[in-house]
Structure 1
Amino acid sequence: MKNRKTKHVKNGSSQNNNVESTSDSPSLSGLSSTALSIGAVSIIFLSIFVVYTSDLLPKTLRKSDLPPISTKGGWRLASDNVLQKFGSSKCTVTRKDAKYFTNAEFEKDFRFKKPLIVSFDNGASGWTTPESWSVESLKKEYGDWLVYSGSSLEIVRRGGNGNVESSFTEFVDQLIRSKDDKGEPLYIFDRMFYNDSSLPTTLKPPKYFEIKDGRDDSIFFLGASSSGVSFHKHADAWNGVIYGEKRWFLYPVNHTPPGGVYPGFTQIEWFEKVYPLLPESEKPIECVQKAGEILYLPEGTYHGTINMGDTVAIGIQRKKASTKQEKLVYEELNRRNSLNGKLSEKEKADTHTEILHLYEELHTLLPESTEVMMKLGQTYGEHGHVEKGLELTLKAIDKDPYFVLAYLNKADLLNKLDKIEEAEDSYKKAIELNPNLWDVHAQYGSFLVNHKRPEDAIKHFKRGIELSPKQQGFYNMLRHAQKMMGDDEEAEKTERLMKQLFNRRN
């Protein structure tokens, strides 16, 4: 299989050549790993960063229904069932015709202000060469190139990167037609494919969507119906759909999506469980983006998507933030990432203090943001201001009763205050909201181990393994709980299973 990361771009393309995400240009707002530390037990789910090849995917993958007959560019169009389930005629995003829309109007009325969809008389032909993005063309040119895909929630969890490695042809011929236990297909969310290809030479967007070397990053998207990405936000960006359709759910920077971020739900789970219960005041800005249209996302706009039909798209995103609040978000992430480096104890303490001050400033700028409330509350707890942290966390939950991760933070803070029963109730509430989120089972199981209840903890670690079978941390904690029970035979079985599963990748 050709390693396309070392392949030269054809035709000497200069647009975004060799652009990569850097430490000062985080792609998605949210946590990128889960570290749990409660009392005497600390578990870190290191395998969250593992890249899996397609042969290591969970055996629960099953073939989806037969694809619809209708295709365009070789890509499957959305079936009637898909359109009935996910389609909508509602559109609260401004639409403009590129023929009559000027750069001055864009800068005055939309830049950093509100989302926009731009349509073209000739569809995608108005800004690219659709034939270059067809199944036949992409497989011919890049069939043996590596691509990276993932599910909607896991892509966000990993900072906007897929974690399943396959060839492009393997994805198109097999993985795109498969679904996991949650009914969600894998979605190519790849930050290198477009840059390494000759596709940049096909783009000719309007001036207001001009692409500049060094300033802009790019993402290649490809997924089947019901694939997509969960809520996140980042610097200024636009997203152009060449084939397929994409339903967007948007919230302004000061309005965290109900359910919270980083997500407590996959986008499909959110659409099915949370969206129908929302009052009008909590409903998102939304629209279905058609093939050939470009959607502009102002910096800091929360967004989640669901694809309809095989959807091929390109995203262009600025590397660095421009607005005051998003600069603070990026700075916080940079500071937190620096903690993974070689710092002295004093430098670590100073960095933690700087992170606290950044969240306090963000809270001043965005006082109604439940994401900021929850993260500031969590940070106060880390600094020993547990009561203050709990107060903010409770306020976030009061504003957003679907905020799964806020309930987990509430439980941790209550545990620190030795309010054990209340803490356990909060864990149970998180599980009630989303029993399919592996984080809740990891944290609740760890809590139970610390409170000498290994038998109860084992149930949650086993459930965590069912939900995320490649998380080595679950096996470690399961083995630990089995030893606490005195069940050496089961602990040895878990040890052997770990060697079978993880040694093959090391």
Structure 2
Amino acid sequence: MSVAGRLLLLLMSLGWARPAACTDPASGGWLLGTVPEEQRCTVERADASLTYPLFLQRFAFSRPVILQGFTDNSAFRALCTREKLLAAFGSSPVRLSTANTYSYRKVDVPFTEYVEQLLEPQDPGRLGSDTLYFFGDNNLTEWGPLFQQYVPPPFRLPGTSLAYSFGIAGSGSGVPFHWHGPGFSEVIFGRKRWFLYPPEKTPHFHPNETTLAWLHHTYPTLPPAERPLECTLRPGEVLYFPDHWWHATLNLDTSVFISTFLGCSAVVPCVLLHPHRHRSGLSPRGQALVPRPGSPWLSAMNHPSFGFSTFIAEVILFSYIYFLSCHFQRCSEARQPPEHLEARSSAGLVVILLFVKGFQ
């Protein structure tokens, strides 16, 4: 065979090989990566037998969990293939953020430009401030019809509202350690590796270092006792992360994912949903109303019956705490010790819960 003929065959084989990797039905047309998974998943998993009361008791306020088999998002997944998203949103602008802990820079580009030019494997030497990442900042007018096809996890924290953040990111990309309120994260295509620390255990990291660089440089030096909880999410799996938990993410493949953040509502403010996180930010008077960890108040918040309280019950609860707050403000400086007031508010809450349980 002539040199020209061999060259033609080589070019044809290269042309065929690349699309084969991109159009693998299991990957939705998104490129697979080579970043390794962890040796052992250390995040607890739960199947569909987990009830809502047990979720509240065991995980909602204390530790992360991976949910399996709770929802079927096959219809949503079918709309998130590379071909379908480019056809539906190719000309739409998307807002990209830098992939560092404190992401201040935003860049708007057409979705087609992001997918075809910027969505590439992470350069290990590139800083987080130089890496653009599509997650959140979704225009709900344009992306709303897609989100309507998504089936969110069945669990909520009492009094919270849902907010979606949708993203697509290349292999090796991710966001370094940060924290915020509670929520769920589901992988639609690809694999996403998670690293998590409890609120009281601040991880060792540089805010402008990518998660991939942290994995290469810092992770191997950590003794076993200082390593995070970690696990890799696959399509159809949902991770729940509690309030204020540190976490970093690493996309092992080009990944399509969606997070459901649980925001505080006007009926039940954050200080009531997460009292052990907000005590320190309150005045001494406010701390008298917000219970300490282990108090009867917090135990009642984790009681299964609280998870089935109606909207009216939440209004009653908020009104009761608000009444105590106003009453305490009118009291003189120290006519009643804080422990007495907290005990009284705890007893009142238990009465309300038992009252609500009687109507279920």
Pairwise TM-score range, normalised by the shorter structure: 0.5 to 0.7
Cα distance between partner residues in 1 of 2:251 and 2:72: 18
Q: Deviations 1:332-361 (Å, cap 9, x if unpaired)?
A: 9xxxxxxxxxxxxxxxxxxxxx9xxx9xxx
Aligned to 2:169: 223
CA contact (8 A) 2:124 2:213 kept: no
Aligned to 1:324: 275
SS in 2 for 1:291: coil
Q: Deviations 1:183-205 (Å, cap 9, x if unpaired)?
A: 57632122324564212211223
1:383-462 correspondence runs (5 A) = none
Corresponding residue to 1:235 among 163, 166, 181: 181
CA contact (8 A) 1:93 1:116 kept: yes
CA contact (8 A) 1:248 1:305 kept: yes
Corresponding residue to 2:232 among 288, 295, 298: 288
Q: Deviations 1:213-267 (Å, cap 9, x if unpaired)?
A: x82332111101001101011111110111011000000011001236xx25221
In the alignment, structure 1 residue 190 sits paired with structure 2 residue 142: no
Aligned to 1:259: 205
Cα distance between partner residues in 1 of 2:185 and 2:73: 12
Cα distance between partner residues in 1 of 2:158 and 2:234: 22
Change (3 A) 1:194 1:231: farther
SS in 2 for 1:220: strand
Aligned to 1:69: 21
CA deviation after TM superposition for structure 1 residue 141, in Å: 1.6
Q: Deviations 1:348-386 (Å, cap 9, x if unpaired)?
A: xxxxxx9xxx9xxxxx99xxxxxxxxxxxxxxxxxxxxx
SS in 2 for 1:247: strand
In the alignment, structure 1 residue 107 sits paired with structure 2 residue 50: no
Cα distance between partner residues in 2 of 1:323 and 1:68: 48
1:165-176 correspondence runs (5 A) = 165-176=108-119
Query: Runs of 4+ in structure 1 displaced over 6 angstroms?
Result: none
Corresponding residue to 2:36 among 68, 74, 86: 86
TM-score by length of 1: 0.46
Change (3 A) 1:307 1:209: farther
Aligned to 1:97: 47
In the alignment, structure 1 residue 149 sits paired with structure 2 residue 96: yes
| Structure whose CA Rg is larger | 2
SS in 1 for 2:79: helix
Aligned to 2:67: 118
Cα distance between partner residues in 1 of 2:157 and 2:215: 33
Q: Deviations 1:78-135 (Å, cap 9, x if unpaired)?
A: 24xx1xx43224111111122x22212211211111101112288642xx52111111
SS in 2 for 1:208: coil
Change (3 A) 1:326 1:149: farther
SS in 1 for 2:66: strand
Corresponding residue to 2:251 among 307, 312, 315: 307
CA deviation after TM superposition for structure 1 residue 144, in Å: 1.4
Cα distance between partner residues in 2 of 1:328 and 1:148: 36
CA contact (8 A) 2:122 2:172 kept: no
In the alignment, structure 1 residue 139 sits paired with structure 2 residue 86: yes
Question: 2:29 corresponds to which letter in structure 1?
Answer: W
CA deviation after TM superposition for structure 1 residue 178, in Å: 6.5
Count of residues in Structure 1 that have an aligned counterpart in Structure 2:
256
Question: 1:142 corresponds to which letter in structure 2?
Answer: F
TM-score by length of 2: 0.63
Cα distance between partner residues in 1 of 2:86 and 2:77: 14
CA contact (8 A) 2:187 2:235 kept: yes
Aligned-CA RMSD value: 3.2
Cα distance between partner residues in 2 of 1:199 and 1:313: 13
CA contact (8 A) 1:147 1:190 kept: no
SS in 2 for 1:157: coil
CA contact (8 A) 2:71 2:151 kept: no
Cα distance between partner residues in 2 of 1:203 and 1:122: 10
CA contact (8 A) 1:151 1:227 kept: no
Cα distance between partner residues in 2 of 1:286 and 1:120: 20
Which structure dedicates a bigger proportion of its chain to helix? 1
Change (3 A) 1:164 1:182: farther
Change (3 A) 1:112 1:165: same
Question: 1:229 corresponds to which letter in structure 2?
Answer: V
CA contact (8 A) 2:121 2:170 kept: no
Structure with larger RCO (C-alpha < 8 A, sep 6+): 2
Cα distance between partner residues in 1 of 2:150 and 2:242: 21
Q: Which runs of 5+ in 2 are unaligned?
A: 1-17, 265-269, 287-291, 294-360
SS in 1 for 2:177: strand
CA deviation after TM superposition for structure 1 residue 152, in Å: 2.2
CA deviation after TM superposition for structure 1 residue 300, in Å: 0.8
Question: 1:172 corresponds to which letter in structure 2?
Answer: V
Cα distance between partner residues in 2 of 1:208 and 1:121: 10
Cα distance between partner residues in 2 of 1:164 and 1:181: 21
Cα distance between partner residues in 2 of 1:268 and 1:249: 12
Question: 1:69 corresponds to which letter in structure 2?
Answer: A
CA contact (8 A) 2:185 2:240 kept: yes
Question: 1:307 corresponds to which letter in structure 2?
Answer: N
